[in-house]
Amino acid sequence: MRRIGETHNKLYELTGYRLHGDAYLIQAFTDISASKVLNNTDFIAYGNDVLTFYADIIIHERYGTFRSFNSIREASDNGYAIKGSYFSGTAKSLQKKLISNETLASIVDKYELFPGYDTHIIYNENDQALTSAKANLFRAIIGAYFVTFNGKYEILKSVVQRVLPFNSVFKVYEESSKLDLPFIPDLSKAVTQLKEFHEMG
């Protein structure tokens, strides 16, 4: 049995933030079968929504926010346009990969979070049920962060960026598709890139 303090430390290592006190951590690890009142059911729902929303945002920022020049109808249109070829089925498949049960369970395994400091998570012995239980524990933990930080956008986005394997998933996708990536600014090379971007237009 792991002590609560050790679990707090592991979550800090994973997310870069600490949950406020022990109550949310305990609830995140408490299955409805152990308590009908203070269980992790709502945390699982919150966490799923947070992971889905911020995964979409981060995918969109990488592949969807730069202008699709073919879609610009007026010379005065100098805003951003979504590149539909990137931000449709492809974006959804990337999102599913990032927040799948298998991906979330692997994060739980890496940080040795299951079953946690106690045995309140109830699960079956077969692999699929165990993977689902671990993934739901991860969702509940993210839900606890949502409640702890009152839905603060920048904190939750930072947590999701840190916990999900964006780099590896994006790398596999870009290498397999030989993707012609949109222009991505690098502030350290701002003058050169602004010149290149101007020439592209």
Say which residue, 177 or 195, is predicted with more confidence.
177
Q: Which H or E element spans position 26? A: helix 23-28
The amino acid at residue 122 is I
The candidate with the shortest Cα–Cα distance to 104, out of 126, 137, 127, is: 137
- pLDDT grade for 109, boundaries at 50, 70 and 90: very high
Q: What is the pLDDT of residue 196?
A: 60
pTM of the full structure:
0.75
The candidate with the shortest Cα–Cα distance to 161, out of 33, 74, 61, is: 61
SS3 call for 165: coil
Beta-strand ranges (E) seen in the chain are none
Contact assessment for residue 118 and residue 31, using Cβ atoms and an 8 Å cutoff: no
Question: What is the rounded CA–CA span in Å between residue 199 and residue 90?
Answer: 29
SS3 call for 115: coil
Q: What is the pLDDT of residue 199?
A: 61
* Mean pLDDT of the residues in the chain: 79
- pLDDT grade for 85, boundaries at 50, 70 and 90: very low
